[in-house]
Chains A and B, each alone.
Chain A
Amino acid sequence: MTIRRRLVYAFLSILFLFGLNLAIYFVASARLSGAVEALQRAKDRQLLIANVGEDINDIHKQVTLTGNVFSATVIAGGEAESDEGAPSEAEKLEQSRFRGQLQELDSKLAAIIRISNVDAQGPVRNLSESCAQLAASWLIVHENFGSNSDSVTRAITELSVTAEPLSQYVRETLLPELEEFERSQAQIATQNYTSVSSVTKALTVGIFLASLLVAVVVAFHVSRYLTRGLSELEAGAAALGSGQLEMRLKLANKDELGDLAKSFNDMADKLLAAHNQLTEANVELDRGKKEVEKQQEMAMSLLLNILPVQVAEELQTSGQVEPKYFEDVTILFTDFRGFTLATEKLAAEELVYMLHEHFSAFDEIVKRYGIEKIKTIGDSYMCAGGIPDRKPSHPVDVVLAALEMARAVEEHNRKDAPAKWEVRIGVHTGSVIAGVVGTRKFAFDIWGDTVNYASRMESSSEPMKVNISERTYIRVKDFIECEARGKVLTKEKKELDMFFAKGIVPNLLNGNGENPPPAFKRRYRVYFQQDPPPLSEFLLKHD
């Protein structure tokens, strides 16, 4: 049964009970009204009968008084003989009044008959008939008193023979019987009224209580039914909201709640299916994302191999790299002496392998000192410090890296290498323009006189020596011990002041074996507001 039908039935039940109550109220009112009317009629009859009794008594006494008056008349004036002549006006008036009294009595009796039930009319009719006889007798008595002796005799005879016995019978028998009868009728009417009233009250209260009970039961049942269903729905929705998509409602009701539960379960099914699809899609997406990230990392890694981090990020962000001016950069060039000769003696793969080993060592050193590798050209290795990070320690860092490079080549030569190579290293400090050229196979490069000057330093250097320019010397002399070479003639026939870097200044090496030594570290901090990188062991020893 649907909830709407339940509510309609409940409403109709209550309506029916209230209607029944109303109908009973009206029926009871009608019966009550009938009972009141019967009671009223009984009371009216009682009053009228009492009135009739009083009238009969009055007339009886009046008739008796007539005899006394007659007696008084006799005493006053002897025998009331009036044989001749009609009754006087006063007598006529008195007779008329007496007849009026009798008629009034008759009308009251008729009224009693009129308002009596059929059952009660018998005794009243008896009374009425007796009263009619009595009235006729009284009339005879009344009209004959005061006339001649014969009339008086007739009056007394009528009075004694008929009127008085009949009057006594009426007053002492009929009237009391009728009064008793009417009293019993009134009592019955009163009892009837009380009974109807009590039954009406009891029924009204009973049906009201029954209506109340039904209303409470129906309200309780419906509310409990709805609350239970809605609570289950609420719990289901909460479970669904918390992610328990397998949750299903178990409402088997064949009503709106059941339909709602079914819709809810359908929705949960669809949500679960959608969730599963979404999960699968997410897994797929994660897989793709990881793949993309892996690809991106690989691309970035490849990009970082050829470009500085900042340049690579700028290229990724804007798709291009604006050329930038760096006013203070230290550039390092290396070149292997005898490489051309070696190419004739070594196989190509051995040559490449050796270059790879050396350049790999250089890469490691360059990375440790935070120097940017620019490129390799044949057997030449080019790197620069202070680019793209503009850190002030780049001259010292580059010279230290250069010393380590030379040392690395030397150590490599000590191994069982197919060929012994010697390296020349040149360093110069100055300004450059940096940028990326081309759209495919990007190349980060630097341009300017400083690059050429650094190349001159390399070409003017000696095997296994680090040749630095005067400008670089000025920047590193407080950290690096240098040997002045004086003016050296370059390939372009220019005389330039050059210096060989030999190692760290001896007085900076004092310490308890700490790396870097405290003095070096302190000065480095003072000059460049940063800590120096760890130094190679050979740099900590003074020759």
Chain B
Amino acid sequence: MRQILASTLLLFAFVIALPGHVESGSSVSVVVNSKVSAENISFDDLRRILLGDKQFWEGNNQRVTLLVRAAKAPERTVLLDKIYQMSEAQYKQYWIAKVFRAEATSGPKIVTSNKMACDLVKAIPGSIALVASADVPPGFKVLKVDGKKPGDGGYRLTY
């Protein structure tokens, strides 16, 4: 019994210790380039930005660059479920149509890791990415959504 319990605890500890793992009930932060003047954003505006319907930031008229994790990443899942409310196939079809209709210059840039996302957010003015709150390095600008920062009660970008 002890062996079983010990094994279970060990497995639990292993799972917790897996890199990139997001705990259940974890939040996803909206990371933006430091030059973006906004501090807070409504969920609807966030949605419009991520859907490519709003391509410039208010205030400094900065061009929006979308950075999206590759498929199967938890941030992408949050993005599809909470923001786009689309399946993976619908998401791809949506952006192909948007680009070919010339409603957007290009689709979101695919990043392979949160680190890469953060690096790019840092490098590209006006860029925005959804990064697991736990992976957001200190000093990065994280927008409040509807006045709530990640970890607050009622924060909507959780999984």
List residues of A whose CB falls within 8 A of some B CB.
60-61, 64, 67-68, 70-71, 74-75, 79-80, 149, 152-153, 156-157, 159-161, 164-165, 167-168
Known: A61-B99, A161-B123. A79 touches B109 (CB 8 A): no
Give the distance in Å from the alpha carbon of A165 to the alpha carbon of B115 in the complex.
25
Whole-angstrom distance from the CB of B79 to the nearest CB of chain A? 14
- The one of B70, B115, B127 that contacts A74, using a Cβ cutoff of 8 Å: B70
Is the Cβ of B106 less than 8 Å from the Cβ of A67?
yes
Give the distance in Å from the alpha carbon of A159 to the alpha carbon of B127 in the complex.
12
Main SS class of interface, B = mixed
* A61, A71, A160 pick with most chain B CB within 10 angstroms: A160
Is the Cβ of A156 less than 8 Å from the Cβ of B120?
yes
Which residues of chain A come closer than 8 Å to B111, judged between CB atoms? 156
- The one of B63, B99, B112 that contacts A79, using a Cβ cutoff of 8 Å: B112
In the complex, the 3 A-B pairs of residues with the closest C-beta atoms, listed nearest first: A71-B110, A160-B65, A156-B109
Which residues of chain B come closer than 8 Å to A168, judged between CB atoms? 105
Which residues of chain B come closer than 8 Å to A167, judged between CB atoms? 105
B119 at the interface (CB under 8 A from A): yes
Is the Cβ of B110 less than 8 Å from the Cβ of A70?
yes
Main SS class of interface, A = helix
9 A–B contact pairs at CB < 8 A?
A: A67-B110, A70-B110, A75-B72, A149-B112, A157-B124, A159-B109, A160-B120, A160-B124, A164-B65
B125 at the interface (CB under 8 A from A): yes
Which residues of chain B come closer than 8 Å to A164, judged between CB atoms? 63, 65, 105-106
* B70, B109, B125, B127 pick with most chain A CB within 10 angstroms: B109
Which residues of chain A come closer than 8 Å to B99, judged between CB atoms? 61, 64
Whole-angstrom distance from the CB of A61 to the nearest CB of chain B? 7
List residues of B whose CB falls within 8 A of some A CB.
63, 65, 67, 70-72, 99, 105-107, 109-113, 115-116, 119-120, 123-125, 127
Give the distance in Å from the alpha carbon of A71 to the alpha carbon of B70 in the complex.
7
Is the Cβ of B63 less than 8 Å from the Cβ of A165?
yes
Known: A160-B65, A160-B124, A167-B105. A153 touches B110 (CB 8 A): no
Is the Cβ of B65 less than 8 Å from the Cβ of A68?
no
Is the Cβ of B110 less than 8 Å from the Cβ of A74?
yes
Which residues of chain B come closer than 8 Å to A149, judged between CB atoms? 112-113, 115-116
Which residues of chain A come closer than 8 Å to B109, judged between CB atoms? 67, 156, 159-160
Closest to B66 in A: A160
Whole-angstrom distance from the CB of B64 to the nearest CB of chain A? 10
